[in-house]
Structure 1
Amino acid sequence: MVTLRKITLENRRAVFKLEVAEDQRRFVASNLSSVASCYVLATNGGHPFPFAIYADEQPVGFVLVTYGTTGYDEPSFAARSYCILRLMIDKACQNRGYGRAAMNEIMAFIRTFPAGPADCCWIPYKHANLPAKKLYERFGFRDNGETFNDESITVLRL
């Protein structure tokens, strides 16, 4: 069973050790960098929601959901939207369905509107990251034609 869990003093090191395969590193920041971004976002009026992704009792990935502006280049509709800013599954745990199961949990969390109302959720991703694009499309996300920092923007109406 895949669940989202808060990052705690007890699990933080295990989460920081998770990493994608060498050829995927160009697509996603490290989990440590992402957690540090949470501090910057939170102290500048943002609403970050970092989670460890667990398969049963084993951490297998990381996700960072944000609400509102992120401080990064973003689409004009970002101010009242949720964003899946980072999502990764550890290289040893890929191709086991954890990404798909995690997206189910992530979308269920977002649909509780924990930081406020929103019309959509968006995800920035590198155009060359075809597995990510396919995953997002399975959940109804569609590219809207915008690009920021060499990343395509895919959007889902909530």
Structure 2
Amino acid sequence: MITLRKITLENRRDIFNLTVSEEQRRFVASNLSSMASCYVLATNGGHPFPFAIYADEQPVGFVMLTYGITGYDLPSIADNNYCILRLMIDKMYQNRGYGREAMNKILEFIRTYPAGPARYCWIPYAPDNHHAKKLYESLGFRDNGEICNNELITVLPL
């Protein structure tokens, strides 16, 4: 069973050591870099939500959600909406359905509106990341036609 857990002193190194395959590295920042981004966002008025993704008791991935990002080049959908800014499943645990199950847990969490009300969840992704596009579309996300920082923007009404 997939669960989302807080990053703690006890699990942080395990999460930092999770990696994607060589060919996927261009699509996602390292988990350590993402955690540093959480600090920057939090100290600049944003609301980051980093989580470890666990399959039972095994850490298998990482997700970083945000709300209220400011000071960046952002798509029009960004204001007062949730963003899944980073999502990764470790290369050893891919193709087991963990990404889909994690996305369902992520959306369940977002729908509790932990940082404030929203109408949408959005995700930026690289145009050639076909696996991500397929996953997002299967969950109801649809591209809104915007491109921001060379990434497509896909959106889900909440």
- TM-score, normalised by the number of residues in structure 1: 0.98
Residue of structure 2 in register with 1:114 after alignment: 114
Question: 1:135, CA displacement in angstroms?
Answer: 0.5
For the residues of structure 1 that align with 2:86 and 2:71, how far apart are their CA atoms? 14
For the residues of structure 2 that align with 1:62 and 1:81, how far apart are their CA atoms? 20
Alignment of 1:57-136 (within 5 A): 57-136=57-136
- TM-score, normalised by the number of residues in structure 2: 0.98
Aligned-residue RMSD, C-alpha:
0.8
For the residues of structure 2 that align with 1:70 and 1:39, how far apart are their CA atoms? 14
Call closer, same or farther: CA 1:3–1:70 in 2, change over 3 Å.
farther
Q: Deviations over 1:85-132 (max 9, x none)?
A: 000000000000000000010000000000000010000000100000
For the residues of structure 1 that align with 2:110 and 2:96, how far apart are their CA atoms? 23
For the residues of structure 2 that align with 1:4 and 1:21, how far apart are their CA atoms? 22
Q: Deviations over 1:23-72 (max 9, x none)?
A: 00000000000000000000000000000000000000000000122543
Question: 1:73, CA displacement in angstroms?
Answer: 2.1
Alignment of 1:14-93 (within 5 A): 14-93=14-93
Call closer, same or farther: CA 1:64–1:71 in 2, change over 3 Å.
farther
Give the length in aligned residue pairs. 158
For the residues of structure 1 that align with 2:147 and 2:72, how far apart are their CA atoms? 12
For the residues of structure 2 that align with 1:71 and 1:9, how far apart are their CA atoms? 29
Call closer, same or farther: CA 1:148–1:19 in 2, change over 3 Å.
same
Instruction: Assess if the C-alpha contact under 8 Å between 2:3 and 2:54 holds in 1.
Output: yes
